Structure 1
Amino acid sequence: MASQAPSRVGKTLIALIKIGLYLFVLALVALVVAVSVAVSQLPSYQELVRRDDLGQMIRVRAADGSVIHSMGPSFGEWLSHDEIPAIMRDAMIAVEDRRFHYHPGVDPIGIARGIWVGWTRDDRVRGVSTIAQQLARNIFLTNDRSMGRKIREGILALALERRFSKEQVLELYLNRVYFGGGAYGIDAASRRFFGHSATELNAGQAAIIAGLVKAPSNYSPTADAEAARARANIVLQLMVREGAISEAQARAANPQQVEFVRTAERHNSARYFTDWVLPQLETLIDETVQPIDVWTTLDVGLQRAADEALNANAPSAQAQGALVSLDRDGAVRALVGGRDYVDSIYNRATQATRQPGSAFKLFVYLAALETGYTPTSTVVDEPVTINGWSPRNDNGRYQGPVSLRAALALSINTVAVRIAQDVGTRTVADMAQRFGITTRVDTNPSMALGTSEVRLIDLTRAYASVAQRGVAVVPYGIRRVTTADGTLLYQHRSDESRVLVAPWVAAQMTDLLQAAVMTGTGRAAQLGRPTAGKTGTTSSNKDGWFVGFSSGLTTGVWYGRDDNRALPGLAGGRAPARAFHQYMARAVANRPVENFEIEVALPDWQVEPDAESWYGAPDDYQLVDPDGNPIQPVEDGPPPPPQPREPGSATTEELNQEWLDHAIGRNRAPQAVPQERRGPPPDRGPPPRRQQQEVMPPLPGQRQSAPPVVRPTETPPPTIRPRAPGTAE
């Protein structure tokens, strides 16, 4: 009986061994099948080289092509196995997978060692991932620590090494692994940290890069340079142990002597510009995967000059500022949204809405010129009261009869209010919106003095449109967008077809603005060449503005406080005008001097009385009668004598305006044409109704004894309930 017991034990052991063998064979077959399936589903080598799965890289380039900002992953050049320095390959293998050339993708010895270390120290398996496993995890999996993920990682690693050679696996790994600082691949890391290609890496630099893989956020030179050097020393010791380098070579490498590239200053004001243009990509292109280059209009030199001018002329340490500079086609050459991007990323050039003060008078005078005023038209500067509101001039004095040119140059508030009442505050508001003001414009009497808040970029755009002889200017910052290989995705095209006002209106407005710089409140902005512009100062010196143009460049400057508190001494003719002068003196230095067209031929109002003659009306149209029958034009010469009309025959009439109105079905009496829409005839001064001196009816709340004002008007201004006064200039 005793001899039978061992027999049963032996049989049991044999059975267990057989079961184990069967399970092993079954697991091996399952593994082979799983690896085979994984191999068949792996992307091709060319697809893995693209690196699209790492996210979209966007590089923003200035007008000269230099990169001013990058976002998303940063990729360098793809280096083949032979192009990668041997010292870099040896360093990575020594620190991450010393048996790389001997295992099939998974290192059984490494796994056993990891299990033993984990069991004897902290019950945690670690340090068992080969280069192929890390590559599989980076490309196909996540970083969770589940057993299922580890099994899938091992299968994919075996598949990768079955599908690709050892050299290809190492090449993929070194070109795709993340090294911190946004850099993917050794070439991006080398350029990011050392400023040169990875093909030029020495032993010390290679050791630093190889040491980053373990913990990029901790060892990255951008995070902790000393930690990166300490980690590199460990890598060099491992390389010596594996025989990759000698002790002497390790000492010569000395990571302490490796110098890192200094990163660009965080307060680079160009970030205000990139923050403005990058959101526009969503409406311009559909590409969201491939790396793209955004080629912009920003001039790096002008951006630097704008930043310096804005900070050099700030009225106080508490003041904030903004500057926008537009070229004649709307290209943004410089954009500064604040004095320091690190302190505040709030973009005061494109986001902030502030009261523009007298800089808003641009729209008051544009409306006046379009309704028939001229730069020499006379308006009386005298006290005025509207529903209990009495605007005052900055100097507290009144000039009496003054021309429009002098009134704008001296920024006389009472004249601007009177003109706005004459042409209508709704007309002024419409003019502002026509010229690109996107914020709400009130129509109360004080609106003439700039109480409605605007954005700096919108106001600068309006002045640029005046400089362009009344053609709409739309600011833009993106010239084109391409993929990394140069495929064009978007190309900007300027539209110069939208005319906002007639050329003679824009020319007369330029005349007024030039006077403001030559003899008025904007004298500090003079550049020694034709310059036009306007100052603006709000009540209690809370905002200071200057917007002007010269030699095809239009620039707007604003100063104020974010909390809207007063800045003693702030005025549009001081800090803003000085900043404009400092910036523009450099910006136009290499541009030719351009004289303004302030005398543009006016239309012949007797021949072409309609405004559409200045808005693209064709001159080769076919006249038709009310029945649609064509009317043949009459040759030049004296009109034929009247002919008697025979019964049933067509009427022969003189070809005059009355006949034309009847022929096209526009039967209107001459007096039905709004007189205020007619401009002055060429070289004959103001139109007839402007020739006489009229006594302006007293405005609501004004004393009857007010002196007369010489102004073009037909009806007294409407009574409008005002808002509290908003400006000082």
Structure 2
Amino acid sequence: MSRSSKSPRILRADRRYAGSTAKKRPTPAKKGKSAPVKRRKAQPATRRKRRSGSSGGGGIMGFFRRIIGWILRLFWRIGWRFGLVMGLILALAVGSIYATLPDASEMVDGRARGSVTMMDRYGEVYAWRGDQFGGVITADTVSPHLKHAIIATEDRRFYRHFGISPRGVAGAVAINLREGRGALEGHGGSTITQQTAKLLCLGRPYKPEEWKTEAAYEADCRQSSLGRKIREALYAMALEARYTKDEILTIYMNRAYLGAGARGFQAASQRYFGKSAAEVNPAEAAMLAGLLKAPTRYAPTADLQRSQDRANIIIGLMEEEDYLTDTEAALAMANPATLSEAAEARAGGYFADWVMESTPSFLSSQTTEDVLIRTTFDPRLQKAAEEALNWIFENKVREGSKAQAAIVVMDADGAVRAMVGGRKTKVSGAFNRATQALRQTGSAFKPFVYAAALDWGFTPNAQVVDEPLTINVPGSGPWSPKNYDRKYHGKVTLTQALAHSYNIPAVKVSEEMGRENVRRIAADFGLSSDLAAGPALALGVSEATLLQMTAAYAGILNGGSSVTPYGLTELRLLGDSQPLFGQEGGIGERVIAPQAARQLVYMMNQVIESGTGQRAKLGDRPAAGKTGTTQAARDAWFIGFTGDYVAGVWMGYDDNTPLSGVTGGGLPAEIWHETMIRVHEGVPISPLPMEIPAGVRPGQLSSSNGGGSSSGSTQTKDLGQAAQDLGNNVDKAVRNTERAINNVLRSIFGG
């Protein structure tokens, strides 16, 4: 057969393999079997194109993929190296701090300042001030309720973190920003470990030579800058590495400040509840834990209701964390924690605050020693004053009234026995209206006007005409005083004028004696604040504190000598047998003659017997005093005394709102009466040191209505009276000379 008759040969392209240009032909199959032929499946054109584009890296998407991949690889190469370096630096920083940390037991007690313990007149402790430490309490020995309350309040993940809580910090930053503050202002998100680091001041102890005051040191320890937060976090991690969680909690519980001078939960529990921190119930534990947020604000001695409200929030948190069942939480809220009787008795209140303010700071508020102060405080008299005030406000004052009142009780030599600075009596560090509120004195000032007349030789029966009066005041023009009842009473004695608190006679007497003399006598009795220069001086437009006014009246009772009120009788350091200093009395220089003082006592006795102060009567016990009401009734006073005690009462509003229907002869006189009735329980009746002017021929003061001049001023006296007046005048001249010499000596020697 010819070649042309044969079948045509099929041509195929050789397959490509790595290292070969052609594939060997397959071995023919054995006879009878045919080898299967594998054919490559054809791919769609679109798929071939996609593969071609991908493998070749062409197009915009491929370009961006390569760029992103390169950046990620660069970040990874740099990141792990940077992370390794930062990790090593962090480890070195934590390690260096770790190496400085002592045993946990050495970190528990951080006392830097001393304490002040106050004793009453009988030697019994009644108040504490300054830092108080109650002994070590541990995480094992503390009440489980208190441990749970602290963790639920401050750091519920305490046992799960490594010293810092990124989640807590992030949450705190978010809250701060949402509330319009800076990221690090307000909520801090600090763990208990970080708070412990802050309490330890990052391991930096207080050194007096490095700091102006300890307060400045503590303020620096509480700083919240970014750099400080970083150091705080490092220190916290070192604490976590060095100590167990319970050791950290123990340090925290013993160093935290919890108000009223209590450092640590053991001291606070003793301070507020009179029991160990191992014995507190859920309500008490919640109140103690609630103090961590703002110790001074939430201290139960400052505001018990506020402290109880805060405790209820903590009880809710304890319930959320399953530390309390629903029943236990409801029971704790229904029976809130209250101050123990001992804690109430030893709060000290306004009196203790005043003693601290009156004592040199290096031995009181800034002391580094433990100090014992014996005071003039009488707990029975304090209770009497508090009960009297509460009784009047519960029974005589409309419900919801915001009016305030203050009471001071003292001896004739200035020894303060009781002090109430406001209606809330179980307080510490509160505004003291008895010592800090400068208020116009009103008619309570008038005894010092009449003291000037009596000291010059006039008698209680000297007469003055109560009639219209106009005085030309330079720079202000004509001034016409009016009586409270808007009437004129003609001729009245000095006794009648004071008893009924007539204004015009008081102004006339002041002008007759000379304002400078009146001002000098008032200042010498202790009313040294800016005394008015015009004729209104006689009507009490000047300001004074209740303590100053009460001390000035004590000067009248003691025979006419000035009085410096005092509360401290002895101060010594704990462990010392000898006191550093003390005080036995507060009587100073003589201001008016003894006879003038006795006559003034008589006149003030008539205020209570037949005048504006009749509500203050004490039955058979003789008393003397004076009412006072300022313009628009913004202040109401009653100050008086018996033969044993002097007491002053002020009533008004803190914002100077006028009192409604209250005068000094009303509620203040009733508060005084209730106070003195209780104060004198079991005390024998003592006579008043007064001179009754029986048989003394009356005189007459000027009745002039023109500018206070003394036209026609006369007073008839017999020979004996004239001789007595001469003696009084000589005595006055001697006293004035002594006073002038003393003033010169003070100017020379600065004392």
TM-score where L is the length of structure 2:
0.59
Structure 2 vs 1, CA of residues 178 and 467 (structure 1 numbering), >3 Å: closer, same or farther? Answer: closer
Residue 544 (structure 1) aligned to one of 600, 619, 636: 636
AA aligned to 1:288 is: Q
Q: How far apart are the structure 1 equivalents of 2:238 and 2:598?
A: 76
Structure 2 vs 1, CA of residues 504 and 50 (structure 1 numbering), >3 Å: closer, same or farther? Answer: farther
Q: How far apart are the structure 1 equivalents of 2:109 and 2:287?
A: 22
> How far is the alpha carbon of 1:509 from its aligned partner?
1.6
- Aligned runs of 1:350-361 on 2, under 5 Å? 350-361=435-446
Q: How far apart are the structure 2 equivalents of 1:251 and 1:695?
A: 82
- Aligned runs of 1:430-469 on 2, under 5 Å? 430-469=520-559
Q: How far apart are the structure 1 equivalents of 2:162 and 2:653?
A: 63
Residue 383 (structure 1) aligned to one of 462, 467, 471: 467
1:405 has 2:495 as partner: yes
Aligned residue in 1 for 2:337: 261
Residue 285 (structure 1) aligned to one of 341, 353, 363: 363
For residues 184-204 of structure 1, give each alpha carbon's deviation from its aligned partner in whole angstroms, at most 9, with x where no partner exists: 5342464578663123357x6
AA aligned to 1:304 is: E
AA aligned to 1:372 is: G
Aligned residue in 2 for 1:325: 409
AA aligned to 1:436 is: G
| Equivalent residues of 1:358, 1:450 under 8 A apart | yes
Q: Percent identity?
A: 29
| Equivalent residues of 1:321, 1:348 under 8 A apart | yes
For residues 268-318 of structure 1, give each alpha carbon's deviation from its aligned partner in whole angstroms, at most 9, with x where no partner exists: 998655665554455563662657777663744034134325535559947
AA aligned to 1:308 is: N
Aligned residue in 2 for 1:51: 110
AA aligned to 1:592 is: P
Q: How far apart are the structure 2 equivalents of 1:304 and 1:328?
A: 21
Q: How far apart are the structure 2 equivalents of 1:31 and 1:452?
A: 65
1:198 has 2:283 as partner: no
| Equivalent residues of 2:501, 2:612 under 8 A apart | yes
1:77 has 2:135 as partner: yes
| Equivalent residues of 1:409, 1:516 under 8 A apart | yes
Name stretches of at least 5 consecutive residues in structure 1 with no aligned partner.
Answer: 1-18, 101-106, 238-249, 601-682, 715-729
Q: CA RMSD in A?
A: 5.9
Structure 2 vs 1, CA of residues 192 and 261 (structure 1 numbering), >3 Å: closer, same or farther? Answer: farther
- Aligned runs of 1:140-539 on 2, under 5 Å? 140-141=201-202, 146-156=229-239, 158=241, 161=243, 171-177=250-256, 184-188=263-267, 190-191=269-270, 196-200=275-279, 222=308, 224-232=310-318, 254=328, 256-258=330-332, 259-262=335-338, 276-281=354-359, 283=361, 285=363, 288=366, 290=368, 297=377, 299=379, 300-308=382-390, 311=393, 312-314=395-397, 317=401, 320-339=404-423, 347-376=432-461, 378-383=462-467, 385-387=469-471, 391=481, 393-394=483-484, 396-400=487-491, 402-478=492-568, 491-527=582-618, 528-538=620-630
| Equivalent residues of 1:383, 1:392 under 8 A apart | no
| Equivalent residues of 1:332, 1:476 under 8 A apart | yes
Aligned residue in 1 for 2:17: none
Structure 2 vs 1, CA of residues 309 and 709 (structure 1 numbering), >3 Å: closer, same or farther? Answer: farther
| Equivalent residues of 1:315, 1:570 under 8 A apart | no
| Equivalent residues of 1:310, 1:322 under 8 A apart | no
| Segment of structure 1 superposing worse, 181-190 or 80-89 | 80-89
| Equivalent residues of 1:208, 1:231 under 8 A apart | no
Q: How far apart are the structure 1 equivalents of 2:572 and 2:131?
A: 17
**SS of match in other structure, 2:435:** coil
AA aligned to 2:642 is: S
AA aligned to 1:187 is: Q
For residues 580-606 of structure 1, give each alpha carbon's deviation from its aligned partner in whole angstroms, at most 9, with x where no partner exists: 212211122233321122259xxxxxx
**Which of 1 and 2 has greater Rg?**
2
Structure 2 vs 1, CA of residues 364 and 696 (structure 1 numbering), >3 Å: closer, same or farther? Answer: closer
Name stretches of at least 5 consecutive residues in structure 2 with no aligned partner.
Answer: 1-80, 175-188, 203-221, 299-305, 473-478, 726-751
Q: How far apart are the structure 2 equivalents of 1:262 and 1:684?
A: 59
> How far is the alpha carbon of 1:111 from its aligned partner?
4.8
Q: How far apart are the structure 1 equivalents of 2:701 and 2:285?
A: 90
| Equivalent residues of 2:108, 2:250 under 8 A apart | no
> How far is the alpha carbon of 1:139 from its aligned partner?
1.5
Structure 2 vs 1, CA of residues 314 and 470 (structure 1 numbering), >3 Å: closer, same or farther? Answer: farther
**SS of match in other structure, 1:350:** coil
| Equivalent residues of 1:544, 1:560 under 8 A apart | yes
Q: How far apart are the structure 1 equivalents of 2:405 and 2:273?
A: 36
> How far is the alpha carbon of 1:553 from its aligned partner?
1.7
TM-score where L is the length of structure 1:
0.60
> How far is the alpha carbon of 1:428 from its aligned partner?
1.0
**SS of match in other structure, 1:589:** coil
Q: How far apart are the structure 2 equivalents of 1:707 and 1:32?
A: 94
> How far is the alpha carbon of 1:529 from its aligned partner?
0.3
Q: How far apart are the structure 2 equivalents of 1:212 and 1:380?
A: 65
Q: How far apart are the structure 1 equivalents of 2:288 and 2:622?
A: 61
Structure 2 vs 1, CA of residues 151 and 573 (structure 1 numbering), >3 Å: closer, same or farther? Answer: closer
**SS of match in other structure, 1:34:** helix
Q: How far apart are the structure 1 equivalents of 2:713 and 2:86?
A: 112
Residue 138 (structure 1) aligned to one of 190, 193, 199: 199
For residues 366-425 of structure 1, give each alpha carbon's deviation from its aligned partner in whole angstroms, at most 9, with x where no partner exists: 11121112334x32435364546555555524353x544344334344443343333222
| Equivalent residues of 2:637, 2:668 under 8 A apart | yes
AA aligned to 1:78 is: V
Q: How far apart are the structure 1 equivalents of 2:650 and 2:387?
A: 16
Q: How far apart are the structure 1 equivalents of 2:606 and 2:147?
A: 71
Q: How far apart are the structure 2 equivalents of 1:445 and 1:180?
A: 49
| Segment of structure 1 superposing worse, 468-477 or 492-501 | 492-501
> How far is the alpha carbon of 1:440 from its aligned partner?
2.3
User: What is the total number of aligned residue pairs between the two structures?
Assistant: 570
> How far is the alpha carbon of 1:177 from its aligned partner?
4.9
Aligned residue in 2 for 1:610: none
**SS of match in other structure, 2:200:** helix
**SS of match in other structure, 2:562:** coil
For residues 310-333 of structure 1, give each alpha carbon's deviation from its aligned partner in whole angstroms, at most 9, with x where no partner exists: 535559947554433323332334
Structure 2 vs 1, CA of residues 329 and 320 (structure 1 numbering), >3 Å: closer, same or farther? Answer: same
| Segment of structure 1 superposing worse, 73-82 or 583-592 | 73-82
Q: How far apart are the structure 1 equivalents of 2:326 and 2:105?
A: 38
- Aligned runs of 1:606-621 on 2, under 5 Å? none
Aligned residue in 1 for 2:690: 598
Q: How far apart are the structure 1 equivalents of 2:248 and 2:489?
A: 85
| Equivalent residues of 1:314, 1:320 under 8 A apart | no
> How far is the alpha carbon of 1:434 from its aligned partner?
0.8
